[in-house]
Chain A
Amino acid sequence: MAQVSLNNDPASGELRRQFILTQIELQEAEDARDELKSQLAGRERLLAELQATADQALRDFDELQEAHRGRSDQRDALQQQLHVTGQAFEEARSESIRLNAALGLTAVRERELRAQIIGLEEQLKQQAAQMREIEQQGAEKDRNLREVQAGARDLLARIDVLEAEARVMKTSWSWRWTGWIRSLDRGLSRVRRP
């Protein structure tokens, strides 16, 4: 290390002062340089990341644009469908209006019919009541008929019994032996009746 020959004179003092301050400035510059280097490295990293992000964004954008075009096609097709559907809807609406008008007339008729139906239902009820009455009468008659028929059957059976008894009696000896008496009685009866 060289020994610098400086005195204690003002010029040497000024030189020392400048030397020290220069060293401080140098240190400051070196610190700033180091800091800037660090910042630069950071910026470089950031820039690289941003570039990669930008590239990715461009790729994504292009893909989205492509997808957008696909969606546009779909949209167009949907618009067409919408158009057709709209026409059908218009037609349906016209038909609906017409039907609504018709429905107005039908309502009056419906009311009339409802009144008729109510009347008919009333008649139906009356007829049903009459029917029930007739049915009751019929049932009564049936019952009477069945009683008459039962009575008739009893009488017929009695007749048969009596006829059998009569035949037995008429074929009996006594009957034939007593015939004259009955003829006499019949003659007498005709004499007594004018």
Chain B
Amino acid sequence: MDRLDPLAGPGAFPRAPPMTPIVFLSEVEGLPLIAPQGRLAVGGWCLASNHPAVPAVRLQVAGQTLAPVSRRARPDVLTAHCAGLAVLECGFVFAADLPAGVHLAGLEASLDDQDWHPVRRFTVRSTPAVLHVEIEGIPADRRVYESRRLAGWIVHPQEKLEEIWLSYGNQRLRCDWGLAREDVAALLPGAPDAAHSGFITERNLPVGRGPLRIKARTRSGDSYFAATGTMVDIERDETHPAPVDWPAHRAGLGPACRSLPPAPPPADPAPPLKILFLLHADFTSSRAVQVVNLADECAALGHHCTVAVPKSVETSTYFSGRRFASASHETVLRSEEKFDVVHAWTTRECVRRCAVALREAGRVGRLLVHLEDNEQRILEIALGRPLIEIEGLPPAELEALVGGEHSHPQRGREFLAGADGVTVILDTLRSLVPPGPAVHTLWPAADERYFFPRPPPVDFRRALGWEDRRIVLFYHGDVHAANRAEVRELYAAVLALNRADWPCTLLRLGRDSGDDYLDGLRPEIDRHILNLGHVGRHQYIPLLMQLADYFVQPGWPGGFNDYRFPAKLPEFFALGRPVILPRSNLGCRLEHGTDAWVLERVDCSGIVEAVCVLHGNPELRLRLAEGAAAFARTHFSRRRSAAALCSIYRSVPAGRVPAPRGSETQVSEISALPSPENQPSAG
């Protein structure tokens, strides 16, 4: 209840004391007020103290001055305020149509209908008006089984409509609009165009099934949708004389995400770190996956994480729900921000230059470098020359060839030697680290929210027209000079399987760069490949992965594979499918026949043989699927990796002076995950 003195005001000095001031007592009921679909109805009461009559009231709202639609007797107010019967009718009700939005309303009162005094103010939230729709000429159960034209009427209480569409299932039909409907005009007199609100579909409803919805576009360009309460279930039409057998439910692929228990609060009492990860490629590259996982989890632990990429910062949207900041190298260099930790992801030139510039500017607390490849071998493959020849090139020529995309042979080594610490994705990479910095092993992981064991979506595979015996392989990742030959073996294996009457499809994601590595396999291979290209968001990749029967990581031991840990492997294992991979890198740590199907060489013949063996042995297939999921649970965890990485950051001393040549490399006891040495040997 409010009390306002209507005689109060900015009086002139000296001011005479008010004699017997009249105070308005009032109440507006139902605050905070909502006007559903723009329809305001508000009640309350208003009294004037020391005055025998009921004051007149009005409401100012949304540019309108409203008079009460009715006055009501309020004996309760009389009792509460010991007022006389003369003011029994102190109740009021206002009603109006308001535009959508939040409006300020002001209740005013007057004793003489001339001087109006503000009594109280409040807000009114008006929700948008909705369409009024009626579908006519349908059975009482509101189901449409017949292919025919549908008619009805549609009105928006405030806006004029321009286009009407009906939709159900996968069908959408335009409607003729503007048919005369005097009855609707009488029913909704305030609505524009109510007199011409009739509509009818342009043609008969085609086959389809689903709830009937209506969409209307107004002349102002807004679109409105409404459910009609009608179900369409049409099996035949002019073009489908035979009944179409619609599935009982939609064969989908979801859900994309599962909910996990929230991370426990950070137990580390130390202040949070400012961590900068420097990547050499944008967020859509396979290299970004591990960085994103770690940065995201470190951020969840309370640290301030930034991931900087050389260009295309906007690709950070590839990972939804991220908790870290993203920036370009240039932005980071331009800023004056200091970082407790800068983690250079590889020694590639663009990363090295950025990290060195930051360090020289005194903006780096600790500098760590991550190795996940034999960069020198990659350089050899990319340039098509042996390393010894590359190192012998004139500096300017070498510089031009290396560019920013590759690791410079000498500078890369110096960069590693000058780092405060080094993380490696595999222990084999320790041999590439110059003496000096402490080295830690850090295995990658998959995001458990999206990558988890998923049963094969049988309905969806059938909806694709795939027979149950069809073998589906899956490979995601870009194809480049270093893995071109291996991926070609996978394609060749798919072709060989089909030729051997094992229907097989390769579901392929990712981008191809460089030459046509499938030369010789085309055009026959094309019809066995379902190339989906680059998927917009990483979180939807597991939806596609679940279509696969097996995951194949083609390759063989050697200077390239022995020093890498393909980022896709944790994701393969997490999905709970048999994984076929070579006895190299992770393959050396797996138990053949339990964790995965480990081959000496995962080439065309190896893949064909493995798929034939596994496809003919459901028990083995199940064991490998369970083994893969179990291995993922045990060894690939974002949270554990991030916690271990934070321990590494805190354990690494800052400002280490590079050790002289010849001294031993410090091998740290701290490992992000169980040391590969402790893993079971390959079978």
Contacts and interface: CB of A to CB of B under 8 A. Distances in A.
Interface in B586-625: none
Interface stretch (B430-438, B522-530, B668-676): B522-530
A20 B464 contact: yes
Contact of A62 (B4, B32, B463, B531): B4
Contact of B14 (A1, A6, A76): A76
A28 B122 contact: no
A39 interface: no
Nearest to A52: B32
Interface in A101-159: none
B121 A80 contact: no
Main SS class of interface, A: helix
A1 B463 contact: yes
Contacts of B535: 24
Nearest to A79: B13
B655 interface: no
Contact of B2 (A9, A54, A62): A62
B496 to A, nearest CB: 16
Contacts of B118: 62
Interface string A12-51: 1100110111011011101100000000000000011001
**A3, A10, A16, A23: residue with the most chain B Cβ atoms closer than 10 Å:** A23
B530 A24 contact: no
B460 interface: yes
Contacts of B253: 23-24, 27
A104 B631 CA distance: 108
A51 B464 CA distance: 51
Q: In the complex, which range does the number of interface residues on chain B fall in?
A: 35 or more
Contacts of B531: 17
Given A17-B532, A24-B544, A48 B32 contact: yes
B11 interface: yes
Nearest to B118: A62
B140 interface: no
A147 to B, nearest CB: 93
A24 B460 CA distance: 12
A98 interface: no
Contact of A1 (B125, B462, B530): B462
Given A17-B530, A76-B13, A27 B459 contact: no
- Of residues B125, B244, B529, which shows the largest number of chain A Cβ atoms within 10 Å of its Cβ? B125
B14 A55 contact: no
A185 interface: no
B291 to A, nearest CB: 23
B37 to A, nearest CB: 15
A73 interface: yes
A73 B15 contact: yes
B254 A30 contact: yes
A94 B120 CA distance: 53
A76 B5 CA distance: 18
B257 A31 contact: yes
Interface string A148-179: 00000000000000000000000000000000
Contacts of A6: 464-465
Given A2-B246, A58-B121, A69-B8, A24 B543 contact: yes
A93 interface: no
B4 A66 contact: yes
B102 A51 contact: yes
Contacts of A19: 463-464
Nearest to A80: B14
9 contacts: A4-B463, A20-B530, A24-B544, A31-B256, A51-B32, A51-B123, A51-B125, A55-B31, A58-B122
Top 9 closest pairs, chain A to chain B, by CB: A6-B465, A51-B32, A69-B8, A2-B245, A58-B121, A4-B465, A76-B15, A54-B123, A8-B527
